[in-house]
Structure 1
Amino acid sequence: MTDQVMAAIDGSQFSEGVCDYAAWASLALETPLTFVHVVDNHPQTADADLSGNIGLGAREHLLEELAQLDEQRAKVAQEQGRLMLKAAKERAIEDGVAEPGIRQRNGTLVETLADLEKETRLLVLGKRGETAYRASEHLGSNLERVVRTLHRPILMVPDTFSRPRQALIAFDGSKTTRKGVEMVAKSPLFRGVACHVVIVGAETGDNRSQLDWAVSTLRDAGLEAEGAICAGEVEETLRNYQAANDIDLLVMGAYGHSRIRHLLVGSTTTSMMRHASVPVLLLR
């Protein structure tokens, strides 16, 4: 199977950003692009308790009507999805992608993406979505389920595209983040992107050694790179560095074994993603 950039769209305000970032990634990686739309049909009649004061005959008739409405809603959702996929394909072609593919699936977002994992080189998702991506009003457990389920890089994007020029790599010397640095060094996605490797912690010999390794690895691969060790609380420190250095792409290992790990667990995940105005690349 050919590795592809998979872009999940749902018609939310973030879909245009997903299209444009996915097209950029596809062209940079020289990898085919496929748009995916998931119709999540949850029957609303099966578990409904409609007995009450309604007579048996009336109840059966009502159930039939509700079943017909569910079927109509499913057809409308599928047609809306087809139109969204068609528009996404046309937008990607305008962005320069030769032959973007489209797929529509029934089920849940997590299950669908898991089924497509073997074909996925990079997954692009909107920061928030109107339907399948959203657990409530913001990112939450649904995103974490996607991240925990898939062992592929995931690019979470805002609603407006801006070509990345400055990337911040959150680094702590762990196996996960070292692997992330090596992935960045090898990836065509970062050609022409200046990389800032940041350790949040104390100025120690070990931290300095780890930072020097990361910067050298990137420079040896031909990338522009610099490093910094910053004291403070992880999330606040990374945000401050991002603002001070005009960072337009945040790169993180999805799960580490230090304080950075907490950026993707529980409430801090929600906070970081909700406030991030730039795309976030999660590496596994």
Structure 2
Amino acid sequence: MERILAAIDASAHATSVCKYAVWAAERLSLPIELLHVVQRQDAVAARRDLSGAIGLGVKSDLMEELVRLSEESSRAEIEKGRVLLAAGEQIVREAGVTDVTTLHRHGGVVETILEREEDARIVVLGRRGTDHEFAPEHIGSMIERVVRSSIKPVMIVSRAYSQPEHVVFAYDASPAAKRALERLANSPLFDGLPVTIVMAEASGNAKRAALAEAEAVFAPDHPVSSVIDPGKAEKIIQQVMGSVSNPLLLMGAYGHSPIRNLIVGSTTSEMIRTIHAPVLLVR
């Protein structure tokens, strides 16, 4: 059975992740699975790391004590995960979704999300984890890895929750954008929400024709407007997002190779980093 997969950690984004998962679950009539992953430590690697940090000649009993403390820390992380899942479940149930399950896993965060997304309609993640929670110039280190590897739409959310009232759709006629367009026009997730289609870094008859084709996909009674502008995508999308109330940004994800993104940057990463609204990415 399909579900909304919401991954939470100890950051302040966890509450927002739960609330956006509720929003999606109610509109799609789906249950929610709350996931928390405790990353497993390699005891041998930890022992070697400690040996290197302390230096040669350390006594074995001290070494064993350090390993024991590491194991106790792992147990504390497990217990913290249980508390987080219980709190998340309470938020979801109080919001009206009673069909919710929790899953506590050990292992790699990215690998576990990709494993659990098989039956997920949407994956919901916080923009930043605990490592970068108060660093607005950063996005979570796991996000790009999840989005590049995932075959499901991924919603990246900020710390503050606002129920989406308007969809801003960044459209460039790429294969990923066309898949996002199909979802936008047909999914109950977007029923009744006005849509603004944005084509940035675009001009000329061919681009205008592509924009008209995108507009024609929607039902006649669906409120749709459009913007086409030759300016940089990051600037134009920001302007449109700022002009509507409680927007959700929908866009295709990472249209270029990772190597090219290292050279010229990525509109996807820039939008995740700077937009203080949910961003729904479709591969």
Q: What is the match of residue 101 of structure 2?
A: 101
Q: What is the match of residue 240 of structure 1?
A: 239
Kindly indicate whether the alpha-carbon contact (under 8 Å) linking 1:5 and 1:22 is maintained by their aligned counterparts in 2: yes
- DSSP-derived class of the 1:87 partner: helix
Q: What is the CA–CA distance in structure 2 between the aligned matches of 1:204 and 1:270, rounded to whole Å?
A: 27
Q: CA deviation at 1:183?
A: 1.0
Kindly indicate whether the alpha-carbon contact (under 8 Å) linking 1:4 and 1:122 is maintained by their aligned counterparts in 2: yes
The C-alpha deviation readout for 1:28-51, integer Å capped at 9, x for no partner, is: 111110000010132432433257
Greater mean alpha carbon deviation, residues 196-205 or residues 24-33: 196-205
Q: What is the match of residue 218 of structure 1?
A: 218
Q: What is the CA–CA distance in structure 2 between the aligned matches of 1:96 and 1:278, rounded to whole Å?
A: 23
**Structure 1 residues without counterparts, runs of 5 or longer:** none
1:107-146 to 2 correspondence within 5 Å? Answer: 107-131=107-131, 138-139=138-139, 141-146=141-146
Q: CA deviation at 1:274?
A: 2.2
- DSSP-derived class of the 1:104 partner: strand
Q: CA deviation at 1:100?
A: 0.8
Q: What is the match of residue 74 of structure 2?
A: 74
Q: What is the CA–CA distance in structure 2 between the aligned matches of 1:119 and 1:133, rounded to whole Å?
A: 29
1:1-284 to 2 correspondence within 5 Å? Answer: 2-43=1-42, 44-50=46-52, 52=55, 54=57, 58=59, 60-131=60-131, 138-139=138-139, 141-220=141-220, 223-246=222-245, 248-256=247-255, 266=265, 268-284=267-283
Q: What is the CA–CA distance in structure 2 between the aligned matches of 1:104 and 1:62, rounded to whole Å?
A: 32
Measured at CA, do residues 252 and 134 of structure 1 come closer, stay the same or move farther in structure 2, by a change above 3 Å?
farther
- DSSP-derived class of the 1:31 partner: coil
Q: What is the CA–CA distance in structure 2 between the aligned matches of 1:75 and 1:61, rounded to whole Å?
A: 21
- DSSP-derived class of the 2:49 partner: coil
Q: CA deviation at 1:75?
A: 0.9
The C-alpha deviation readout for 1:152-211, integer Å capped at 9, x for no partner, is: 000001112111111110001222211210011111111121110011134322111111
What is the one-letter code of the residue matched to 1:188?
Answer: P
- DSSP-derived class of the 1:218 partner: coil
Q: What is the CA–CA distance in structure 1 between the aligned matches of 2:39 and 2:135, rounded to whole Å?
A: 13
Measured at CA, do residues 100 and 204 of structure 1 come closer, stay the same or move farther in structure 2, by a change above 3 Å?
same
Q: What is the CA–CA distance in structure 2 between the aligned matches of 1:120 and 1:223, rounded to whole Å?
A: 27
Percent identity, please: 36
Kindly indicate whether the alpha-carbon contact (under 8 Å) linking 2:166 and 2:248 is maintained by their aligned counterparts in 1: yes
Greater mean alpha carbon deviation, residues 204-213 or residues 267-276: 267-276
- DSSP-derived class of the 1:71 partner: helix
Q: What is the CA–CA distance in structure 1 between the aligned matches of 2:219 and 2:137, rounded to whole Å?
A: 41
Q: What is the CA–CA distance in structure 1 between the aligned matches of 2:136 and 2:106, rounded to whole Å?
A: 21
What is the one-letter code of the residue matched to 1:194?
Answer: P
The C-alpha deviation readout for 1:243-284, integer Å capped at 9, x for no partner, is: 1234511000113369xx969x84655433221110000012
Kindly indicate whether the alpha-carbon contact (under 8 Å) linking 2:234 and 2:270 is maintained by their aligned counterparts in 1: no
Q: CA deviation at 1:53?
A: 5.1
What is the one-letter code of the residue matched to 1:106?
Answer: H
What is the one-letter code of the residue matched to 2:51?
Answer: D
**Structure 2 residues without counterparts, runs of 5 or longer:** none
Greater mean alpha carbon deviation, residues 12-21 or residues 167-176: 167-176
Measured at CA, do residues 109 and 92 of structure 1 come closer, stay the same or move farther in structure 2, by a change above 3 Å?
same
Q: What is the CA–CA distance in structure 1 between the aligned matches of 2:134 and 2:107, rounded to whole Å?
A: 15
Q: What is the CA–CA distance in structure 2 between the aligned matches of 1:266 and 1:256, rounded to whole Å?
A: 11
